[in-house]
Amino acid sequence: MSRAVAQSRKLDAASSAAEATPEMVRGPSGLLGRIAMSAIAVAVGLVIVFAVLFVAILSLRNRSAEAARSQQVIATATQLQTLVIDLETGVRGFVITYDDRYLDPWRAGQEHYPAAIETLLRLTDSNRMQHARARSIKSAIDTYLRTYSRPLVDFLRRNPKEAPSVATSDRGRKQVETIRDRFARFLATEKALSAAGKDRARATARHALKVGGAGLGSALLLIFVGALYLDRAVARPLRLTAEAATRIAGGDFSGRLPTRGPGEVGQLERTFNAMAASLERTLADLAVRNRTLAESERVKSELVSNVSHELRTPLTSVLGFSALMLDRDLPPADTKRYLEVIRTEARRLAALLNDLLDLQRVEQHTLELRLEDVDLNDLLAAQMTLYSAQSEAHTLHFLAAGEPLVIRGDRNRLAQVVGNLLSNAIKYSPGGGEVEVGAGLIGEDVSVWVRDRGLGIPTDHQDRIFTKFFRGDVGREHGIAGTGLGLVLARQIIEAHGGEIGFHSEGGAGSTFWFRLPAAEQGDGRATVSERSLAAGDDSESGHRM
Ligand code: ADP
């Protein structure tokens, strides 16, 4: 079993090593790759969002600049118009009063006019029609100044008496009205343009706000999706792994992780599962070893106490009688009797030693069977003769089958089993009596039974009869010697032959022990002697079969 565990561990280690190949760790589906991919996706999304925002802000800025320029155009045109009126009113005042102070606004108007008209022309640069209108205004003003206003002032300075006749002329007023008409058209168009520009700016602002809101929402969504992905792909598996590790630290090795994580996370999950499985197996293995160790400790101490007890009785007899013979001069008859006792006790010691050695061989799987065709009629008859001589108080009856009972088995080991059953039947019938031995062919099996009318086995002891060193109370109460090993070995031997052993007993009413072995097949061509290893049975399994 431990070899199987070690092998499966090796396989685990090999598979874990195979799983942890560098390709997997550094592969394109690696954790780093996925984090980089999600970061790049979020970054690209953010760049797009900010580009759209930038374009929206730029267009808003253009619209605002357009609106501001329109306002500037209107202001400049209005200023120019005032300037033209100043030119006209200055000249008119001078014509009426001939007072040079009235020419101050006229001079100032001429001084500011070039810059103002330049500004207007520059501001209308981008609008072809308004630019043309501005130019026509300029040419009208220039014409007015060149052909009327300046020549008139020069003329009056030279001919002041002509003033009343000039004052009645409305040529200048007409020219100025024409200029004002042009201004009116220009300003109306510019105001319309300005209103439209404001509307567009407002619409663009609304649009920019919407784009900004959508961009902000998309950016937040992207960041949220990225964070969610990282949580699912990395944080959650790590959390689960940490929880499972905590459970393992608490002694629960049964939990396993789902192995769907990407790259290194999946690798971590698989390695974790392999580790948990290996720990679980190691723990189970240790528990089995612990039980085995505890059991073997118990058996050892039981063995020591049983063996020492079983050794003490014959050794006491051997020591006591040998001391008696050495210390005293005994008559030859007594000496012979004592030597007989010493030999019997020495035989008991030898039997105990043999049983212990057999038990050791069974437990180390080294007890071998030398198989041959054995007629159980002969084997039983020989054992009957042997054991009949052992007790005068008992009568042994053999109910022969009247047909050959050939089985394939180890003659000596089967003789050991029959001998143990006969010896028990005699031992546990201390008052003497009849022991009946029978055998027969039942179906494919040869069946053997040994019946006594002795002490029987109390019901509460019956399920432990085949347990190592179990002796029950009956034997001890009646001072019957034994080791509690005979039936254990008998069961191992019978089961190694492919048979079964069991008993039926009633406390105080005797016992019947039986065993069944498969009959040898007719014309069996197998070798007469072969070897077969005897497997150790589970001694803790103590139920009897009937
Ligand atoms: P041992 O006889 O050396 O004690 P065994 O393994 O042969 O060991 O038997 C185990 C126990 O089974 C005995 O100690 C005894 O209590 C009980 N037992 C075996 N055979 C009989 C029997 N024929 N009658 C009554 N008790 C028996």
Q: What's the pLDDT tens digit per position in 164-200?
A: 777 667 778 888 888 999 999 999 999 998 888 888 8
Give a yes or no: residue 79 inside a domain. Answer: yes
pLDDT at 256 over 60: yes
**424 C-alpha to ligand 1 centroid (Å):** 6
Domain end residue (candidates: 184, 204, 227): 227
In a domain, 198, yes or no: yes
**If pLDDT is split at 50, 70 and 90, which confidence band does 1 have?**
very low
Give CA–CA dist 113/180, Å, rounded: 15
Q: What is the rounded distance in angstroms from the CA atom of residue 76 to the CA atom of residue 71?
A: 9
Q: In terms of domains, do 328 and 188 share one?
A: no
Q: Using DSSP, state whether 193 is helix, strand or coil.
A: helix
- Let me know whether 316 and 184 are in one domain: no
CB 542 within 8 A of CB 465: yes
3-state secondary structure (DSSP) of residue 318: helix
Say which DSSP state 146 is in.
I
pLDDT at 17: 41
The reply to whether 49 falls in a domain is yes
Give me the domain span that covers residue 352.
Answer: 311-358
* Ligand 1 centre distance from Cα of residue 428 (Å): 7
Is residue 236 in a domain?
A: no
380 with 514, same domain? yes
- Residue 484 CA: nearest ligand 1 atom is 8
Q: What is the pLDDT of residue 541?
A: 36
pLDDT class of 491 with cuts at 50, 70, 90: very high
| pLDDT given at position 269 | 83
Candidate from 58-67, 138-147, 274-283 with smallest mean pLDDT: 58-67
Same domain, 212 and 340: no
Q: Give the 3-state secondary structure of 208-233.
A: HHHHHHHHHHHHHHHHHHHHHHHHHH
What is the number of alpha carbons within 13 Å of residue 328 lying toward its C-beta?
A: 12
Q: Whose CA is nearest to atom 7 of ligand 1?
A: 486
Protein residue with its CA nearest to atom 20 in ligand 1: 424
Q: Is residue 542 part of a domain?
A: no
pLDDT at 233 over 80: no
The model's confidence at residue 5, banded by pLDDT at 50, 70 and 90, is: very low
Same domain, 378 and 503: yes
CA 446 – CA 449 distance, rounded (Å): 10
Domain boundary among 178, 195, 227: 227
Question: Which residues contact ligand 1 via a Cβ below 6 A?
Answer: 420, 424-425, 428, 452, 454-457, 465, 470-472, 474-475, 482-488, 511
Helix, strand, or coil (residue 258): coil
Whether residues 351 and 382 share a domain: the answer is no
Residue-level pLDDT at 396: 95
Would you say residue 23 has pLDDT above 80? no
Q: Which residue out of 429, 459, 465 has the highest number of ligand 1 atoms within 8 Å of its CB and is therefore the one to mutate? A: 465
Give the per-residue pLDDT at 226.
83
- Tell me phi and psi for residue 500, to 5 degrees: -140, 150
Q: What is 230-273 written as a DSSP string?
A: HIIIIIHHHHHHHHHHHHHHTT-----------HHHHHHHHHHH
Given pLDDT bands bounded at 50, 70 and 90, which one contains residue 10? Answer: very low
- Same domain membership, residue 328 and residue 437: no
At 168 the pLDDT is 65
Residues 6+ apart with CB under 8 A from 203: none
Q: Please report the sign of the dihedral spanned by the C-alpha atoms of residue 374, residue 357, residue 350, residue 312.
A: negative
Mean pLDDT across the stretch 73-81?
A: 92
Predicted local confidence at residue 362, as pLDDT: 82
| 286 within a domain of the structure (yes/no) | no
Which is higher by pLDDT, 140 or 41? 140
Of 205, 227, 249, the last residue of a domain is 227
Cα 459 to ligand 1 centroid, rounded to whole Å: 13
Q: What is the percent of the chain where pLDDT is above 90? A: 38
CATH code for position 402:
3.30.565.10
Q: Higher pLDDT residue, 482 or 187?
A: 187
User: Which CATH number belongs to the domain containing residue 91 in this structure?
Assistant: 1.20.120.1730
Cα gap 319→232, rounded to integer Å? 84
The span from the CA of 39 to the CA of 42, in Å, is 5
Residue 499 CA, ligand 1 centroid: distance in Å:
20
Kindly give the distance from the C-alpha atom of residue 259 to the centroid of ligand 1, in angstroms, as a whole number: 59
> Average pLDDT of 97-104?
86
The rounded distance, in Å, linking the Cα atoms of 427 and 455 is 9
Asked if residues 143 and 178 have their Cβ atoms less than 8 Å apart, the reply is: no
Mean pLDDT for all residues in the chain: 83
- Are 327 and 392 part of one and the same domain? no
Structure tokens at 48: 């797009």
The confidence score (pLDDT) of residue 61 equals 86
Contact 134, 121 (CB under 8 A): yes
81 and 213 part of one domain: yes
Query: What mean pLDDT is predicted for residues 299-324?
Result: 82
Q: Would you say how long the chain is, in residues?
A: 546
Each residue's pLDDT tens digit, 26-53: 444 567 777 788 788 878 878 887 887 7
Same domain flag for 509 and 409:
yes
- Nearest-atom index, ligand 1, CA of 425: 23
**27-36, 103-112, 339-348, 419-428, range with greatest mean pLDDT:** 419-428
Residue-wise pLDDT tens digits, 199-231 = 888 888 888 788 888 878 888 888 888 888 888
User: Is 83 in the same domain as 209?
Assistant: yes
Does residue 458 form part of some domain?
Answer: yes
Residue 29: predicted pLDDT: 59
Residues forming a β-bridge with 545: 502
Atom of ligand 1 nearest to the CA of 455: 25
Q: Is residue 88 part of a domain?
A: yes
> Into how many domains does the chain fold?
3
Q: Do 55 and 190 belong together in one domain?
A: yes
**pLDDT top residue among 232 and 443:** 443
Residue 60 has pLDDT above 50, yes or no: yes
Phi/psi at 353 (5° precision): -60, -45
Q: 415 alpha carbon to ligand 1 midpoint, in Å?
A: 17
Q: How far is the CA of 484 from the centre of ligand 1 (A)?
A: 7
